[in-house]
Amino acid sequence: MAIVIDQKEKLFTLHTAHTTYQMKADRLGTLLHLYYGRRTDDSDKSYILSYRDRGFSGNPYEVGKEIKTYSLDVLPQEYSCYGTGDYRISGLKVQNEDGSQAAALHYREYRMEKGKYAIPGLPAVYADEEEAQTLEVILEDVVSGVEVHLLYGVLEARDIITRAVKIKNRGAGKIILQKAASMNLDWTSGEFEWITFYGRHVMERNVQRSRLVHGVQSVGSVRGTSSHHYNPFAILCEKNADEEKGACYGFSFLYSGEFLMETEKDQCSQTRLICGIHPDNFAWELQPGAEFDAPEVMMTYSEKGFGGISRNLHKTIRNHICRGEWKEKRRPVLINNWEATYFHFTGEKLVSIAKEAAALGVELFVLDDGWFGKRDDDNSGLGDWFPNEKKLGCSLKELAEKIIACGMQFGLWFEPECISEDSDLYRSHPDWAVTVPGRRPSLSRNQLILDFSREEVQNYMIDRMSAIFAETRISYVKWDFNRSICDKFSYGLDAERQGEFAHRFVLGLYRVLETLTTRFPHILFEGCSGGGGRFDAGMLYYTPQIWCSDNTDAIARLKIQYGTSFGYPVSAMGSHVSAVPNHQTRRVTPLATRGYVAMAGTFGYELDVTRMPEEEKEQVRKQIKQFRKYYHLIQYGEYYRLLSPLEGQCTAWEMEDPEGREALITAVYHDVEGNSAPVIVKVQGLKREAFYQAKLNPDDMEGWSEQEKECFLEGLPYGYKEGEKITGAALQDCGLAIPDVMDAFQAWQIHIVEV
For ligand GLA, the closer of residues 186 and 369 by Cβ is 369
- Using DSSP bridges, classify how beta strands 192-200 and 203-211 pair: parallel, antiparallel or unpaired: antiparallel
For ligand GLA, the closer of residues 385 and 413 by Cβ is 413
Of these, 197, 345, 413, 596, which contacts ligand GLA (CB under 6 A)? 413
Segment lying near ligand GLA (by CB under 6 A), choices 183-191, 486-494, 525-533, 742-750: 525-533
Residue number closest to ligand GLA, CB atom = 369
For ligand GLA, the closer of residues 409 and 447 by Cβ is 447
Q: Pick the catalytic residue from 136, 616, 618, 671.
A: 616
187 with 243: CB under 8 angstroms? Answer: no
The type of residue at 38 is R
CA distance 569 to 638: 10
Segment lying near ligand GLA (by CB under 6 A), choices 130-138, 169-177, 236-244, 526-534: 526-534
Residues 6+ apart with CB under 8 A from 368: 336, 337, 338, 413, 478
DSSP label of 716:
P
To the query of whether residue 186 is one of the catalytic residues in this protein, the response is: no
For ligand GLA, the closer of residues 479 and 745 by Cβ is 479
How many other β-carbons are positioned within 10 Å of the β-carbon of residue 66? 7
Residues 358-387, interacting with ligand GLA (CB under 6 A): 368-369
Site string for ligand GLA, 33-72 (x = CB under 6 A): ----------------------------------------
Of these, 550, 608, 657, 700, which contacts ligand GLA (CB under 6 A)? 550
For ligand GLA, the closer of residues 338 and 372 by Cβ is 338
CA distance 53 to 217: 27
For ligand GLA, the closer of residues 114 and 445 by Cβ is 445
Segment lying near ligand GLA (by CB under 6 A), choices 25-33, 89-97, 244-252, 523-531: 523-531
Sign of CA dihedral 311, 165, 276, 103: negative
For ligand GLA, the closer of residues 147 and 415 by Cβ is 415
3-class state of residue 717 by DSSP: coil
Asked if omega into 581 is within 30° of 0 (cis), the reply is: yes
How many other β-carbons are positioned within 10 Å of the β-carbon of residue 225? 27
Q: Find the Cα–Cα–Cα–Cα dihedral 427, 428, 431, 432, rounded to 10°.
A: -100
CB of 528 to ligand GLA, least distance (A): 5
CB of 572 to ligand GLA, least distance (A): 16
For ligand GLA, the closer of residues 482 and 626 by Cβ is 482
Residues 442-461, interacting with ligand GLA (CB under 6 A): none
For ligand GLA, the closer of residues 475 and 749 by Cβ is 475
Segment lying near ligand GLA (by CB under 6 A), choices 188-196, 528-536, 556-564, 597-605: 528-536
CB of 530 to ligand GLA, least distance (A): 5
Closest CA relative to residue 533, chosen from 227, 250, 259:
227
Sign of CA dihedral 3, 6, 12, 18: negative
CA distance 476 to 574: 13
For ligand GLA, the closer of residues 160 and 579 by Cβ is 579
Of these, 32, 135, 528, 554, which contacts ligand GLA (CB under 6 A)? 528
626 with 749: CB under 8 angstroms? Answer: yes
* DSSP tally for the chain: helices H, then strands E: 14, 38
Residue 574 in contact with ligand GLA, rule: CB under 6 A: no
Closest CA relative to residue 510, chosen from 693, 296, 193, 262:
296
CB of 582 to ligand GLA, least distance (A): 14
Of these, 319, 380, 458, 482, which contacts ligand GLA (CB under 6 A)? 482
Identify the bridge partners of residue 369 per DSSP, sorted by sequence position: none
353 with 365: CB under 8 angstroms? Answer: yes
Residue 338 in contact with ligand GLA, rule: CB under 6 A: yes
CB of 728 to ligand GLA, least distance (A): 41
Q: Per this entry, what is the length of the chain?
A: 755
CA distance 499 to 508: 15
Size of the site for ligand GLA (CB under 6 A): 11
CB of 225 to ligand GLA, least distance (A): 13
CB of 415 to ligand GLA, least distance (A): 7
To the query of whether residue 616 is one of the catalytic residues in this protein, the response is: yes
Site string for ligand GLA, 135-164 (x = CB under 6 A): ------------------------------
CA distance 20 to 616: 54
Of these, 246, 257, 499, 531, which contacts ligand GLA (CB under 6 A)? 531
Of these, 530, 567, 637, 739, which contacts ligand GLA (CB under 6 A)? 530
CB of 366 to ligand GLA, least distance (A): 9
Residues 6+ apart with CB under 8 A from 600: 561, 570, 573, 575, 634, 653, 666
364 with 605: CB under 8 angstroms? Answer: no
CB of 311 to ligand GLA, least distance (A): 28
Q: Pick the catalytic residue from 266, 368, 422, 536.
A: 536
For ligand GLA, the closer of residues 159 and 417 by Cβ is 417
Q: What is the DSSP string of 67-86?
A: --S--TTTS-BSS-BSSSS-
CA distance 492 to 737: 63
Determine phi and psi for 425, rounding to 5 degrees: -65, -45
CB of 605 to ligand GLA, least distance (A): 13
CB of 476 to ligand GLA, least distance (A): 13
CA distance 3 to 13: 6
How many other β-carbons are positioned within 10 Å of the β-carbon of residue 473? 13
Residue 547 in contact with ligand GLA, rule: CB under 6 A: yes
Closest CA relative to residue 731, chosen from 722, 741, 718:
718
**Active-site annotation, residues:** 536, 616
Applying CB under 6 A, the residues found at the interface with ligand GLA are: 338, 368-369, 413, 480, 482, 528, 530-531, 547, 550
